[in-house]
Structure 1
């Protein structure tokens, strides 16, 4: 017997799965876009501040590299959020797959971070915030995946109303 993922019949507050997935898609897009714009602003501010004496050129390069890597990551996440929205509006489940896959990977990474942080310094307020974030992300993932399966045409599992 295999592991089955619970399927939802509706989103919170009685919204349809399509409406819930649309809201989640727009939330993800706006969040990712805000972070991307912030990272770009930080990069430009950092380049402007290079004329000021800094602690170490190696530290500067490391910081700049991290900002650039994060900006590229959030550019990709912004595109994936757009794919989720496109797949939702056009009812094309294939366009929703990247968001589902990346959200699942993000949940696993976040849980690993919470476990390692708790093991090294004990449970903190940040860990509690991360657990709440993971819980919401799991719910969002269930909503999107349920709609994905609905579009694909094979729920195959008894649905739950939440």
Structure 2
């Protein structure tokens, strides 16, 4: 597990990633909402340059695409907010939505990067494909490292949570007999 990411402590890193995700997602939600409001004008402009599709077909495609991206950005906004809240309150379970959301995105990025590598190697000379392979591989490695940083924060918070609330012995049930371990009463709210 990591103890620092990009020279920052894990808690600081969690806050930075969370706030950047919140800001980026909030701006994207505003932009996509505005684009949905002006979808008719956008469809007309696209139809001028694309003679193969009608305005109504372009409008349908744009509404579907903007709606899907808007839903994904709202989910990202919520998961990034929970990352910030979980880091502040030191609750490891609040980091799970961000880990799941980013894990799914990382999975699709791996598939996309593999497809880019296959196309780059298969359809262009190897020497011309090297920069594209290095850039896409480097970005994938960076994303994996950043994801692993939040996962390390999750594990660190989980470990500290388990240490703060160890299992305690319950009171004996009969004289001379001890009961099994029980969960403690919560003192921290």
TM-score, structure 1 as length reference: 0.78
Given that 1:110 and 1:130 are in contact with CA atoms closer than 8 Å, whether structure 2 keeps it comes out as: no
Q: Distance in 1 between matches of 2:130 and 2:63?
A: 29
**Unaligned stretches of 5+ residues in structure 2:** 48-52, 122-128, 161-189
1:11 is matched with which residue?
5
Structure 1's consecutive aligned runs of 4 or more residues displaced over 3 angstroms after TM superposition are 47-55, 120-133
Query: How well do the aligned residues superpose, as a CA RMSD in angstroms?
Result: 2.4
Cα offset, 1:59, TM superposition: 2.2
Aligned residue pairs, count: 147
Matched residue, 2:167: none
- Aligned CA distance change for structure 1 residues 16 and 49 (closer, same or farther; 3 Å): closer
Given the alignment of the two structures, is residue 45 of structure 1 paired with residue 45 of structure 2, yes or no?
A: no
Give, in whole Å, the separation in 2 of the partners of 1:153 and 1:139: 21
Higher RCO, Cα 8 Å, sep 6+: 1
What is the aligned counterpart of 1:140 among 146, 152, 173? Answer: 146
Report if the CA contact (8 A) 1:103-1:137 is conserved.
no
The alignment partner of 2:71 has SS state of helix
* Equivalent residues of 1:84, 1:99 under 8 A apart: yes
Matched, 1:152 2:158: yes
2:92 is aligned to 93
